Amino acid sequence: MQNQHTAVLGMQWGDEGKGKIVDHLAHDHQVIVRYQGGTNAGHTVVVGKKKFPLHLIPSGILYPEKTCVIGDGVVVNPLVLAEELEALDKRVGKRATLLIGSKAQLIMPWHIVRDGITGKKIGTTGRGIGPTYTDATARVGIRVMDLASKLRFSTMVAQYAVYNRELIEGLLRYYQIKPTAAEKTKIEQALTVDDIVRKYTDAWEKLKAFGIAAVDTSQTLDEADRAGKRILYEGAQATLLDITHGDYPFVTSSHPTVGGLFIGSGFRPRELTVIGVLKAYATRVGEGPFPTELTNRTGEILRERGHEYGTTTGRPRRCGWLDLVVGEYAVRINGVDGIAMTKLDILSGMKKLQLALAYRKGKVVMTRYPADQAVLEKVESQYVNMNGWRDDMTNKARAFSDLPKAAQKYVELVEEYLTVPVKYIGVGPGREELVRR
Ligand code: IMP
């Protein structure tokens, strides 16, 4: 019999507030694992008055007695990781042990250049995520383990710099882009072998000095499980951004859905509880369909109140009503066992609320999320209207019965529609501002 492990993953388009839920659940888990994505993620953990924006490091890092693992399915930029860790170490005394999967792919400078060219149409975060996964699949990637030998690493960098020069020149021609002098200099820098080797090996040495080690994550997790430890899997991005199950092509290049967890960690947890994080309203950054988007004043109110600006890029997020067609899809794809509804407090003070229960295209009503972008672009959301509430919940509500009656109804409707219990409700940004059921 294995231990009970937990996965926390996003049910919408990211930015659901997963960091807060992971931070809470980390209390009774000993190992926290990220299994996909890279520096495109942005988790903000708030402790007291301090805010910790994290991009690559798992949210459990603030617990000194825990082990955090960056799994093999994550794409790693050692320069960013070293910076992030340095900044964190300056602000917190002790932190968790951090391990990295030796099979994880490295984000190289040329990936960032290529993302700048090919990612525009999708509105990517520009961190080189897509091109790094592309090269992994094309078997021309460099992995964390390759940093162990300077000779091996520099040989690979030299070889792939030539390959990437050809690619970048081809892409610029294809997209009819004429780089400015400053852009040309950046491209040259991203292909300069000596410079890259020096920066990456320096960053790796720095990381080792911080106590970071490259490991076989499969073995680490298996041993943790055998030792009776509980593993918490931290998803980045979300279901609708999954490369296979999301709104292709407006997606990220990894698998934020539950399946990604097995590949990205190399360990199959037999006893797994899946917590789906669902923000009380919806947001999306970048391009792509968004049937409940509000382009009016209500959308602006949600953006301002919810501080809906990207943690990674600072871009304003598109905002809209909660969409339970999306919710049903995420429950199904991930086998969600329990929901964490976040940011319910942001809706306080709104007179009327709406929840989408179906879409309509002409005479056809759909209650299942359609995969075809051509259909999604044309659907109209079918809403149920609900009364809002005025009372403050951030300072007052710690139990479900403390919530205003209308807020309780809102949560109950979600539960009934999705037939999944809402186990956690976020009522404010702080660690304690959480209702458990
Ligand atoms: P990429 O992951 O940078 O390739 O971007 C692909 C798409 O995923 C874009 O629409 C991004 O805005 C979106 N995306 C990537 N990471 C996040 C995230 O952490 N939160 C929300 N959206 C994200």
| Chain segment 392-404, per-residue pLDDT in tens | 899 889 999 999 9
Ligand 1 atom with the smallest distance to the CA of 124 is 5
> In the predicted model, is pLDDT for residue 45 greater than 70?
no
Nearest to residue 177, comparing CAs of 109, 118, 111, 110? 118
Long-range contact set of residues 116-124: C-beta below 8 Å, sequence gap at least 24? 117/168, 117/171, 117/172, 117/175, 117/177, 118/171, 118/175, 121/249, 121/287, 122/249, 122/250, 122/251, 122/286, 122/287, 122/288, 123/250, 123/285, 123/286, 123/287, 123/288, 124/40, 124/252, 124/286
Q: Phi and psi of 279, rounded to 5°?
A: -70, 150
Least confident of 56-65, 326-335, 372-381, 408-417: 56-65
Active-site residue, 43 included: yes
Beta strands in 297-433 (DSSP E): 318-320, 322-323, 338-342, 352-361, 364-366, 380-387, 422-426
Least confident of 169-173, 209-213, 417-421: 209-213
Instruction: Quote the ligand 1 centre to 194 CA distance (angstroms).
Output: 31
Ligand 1 atom with the smallest distance to the CA of 125 is 3
Instruction: Quote the ligand 1 centre to 282 CA distance (angstroms).
Output: 15
Q: Is the dihedral of CA 326, 329, 333, 335 positive or negative?
A: positive
For the stretch 190-201, pLDDT in tens is 999 999 999 999
> In the predicted model, is pLDDT for residue 103 greater than 70?
yes
Our mutation pick for probing the ligand 1 site, out of 12, 113, 241, 279, counting the most ligand atoms within 8 A of Cβ, is 241
User: Coil, strand or helix: which one is 68?
Assistant: strand
* Ligand 1 surroundings by CB, under 6 angstroms: 13-15, 40-42, 119, 122-125, 127, 129-130, 236-237, 241, 250, 252-253, 285-286
**pTM of the predicted model as reported, rounded to 2 decimal places:** 0.95
Instruction: Note whether 282 and 355 are within 8 A (CB).
Output: no
Active-site residue, 245 included: no
Alpha carbons 437 and 435: distance in angstroms, whole number: 7
Query: Whose CA is closest to atom 5 on ligand 1?
Result: 124
Alpha carbons 246 and 233: distance in angstroms, whole number: 20
Average pLDDT of the segment spanning 160-177? 98
Ligand 1 atom with the smallest distance to the CA of 241 is 8
> In the predicted model, is pLDDT for residue 1 greater than 60?
no
Least confident of 50-59, 233-242, 279-288, 397-406: 50-59
Least confident of 53-57, 146-150, 346-350, 397-401: 53-57
Return the ∠ at Cα 372 (arms to 171 and 283), rounded to 5°: 80
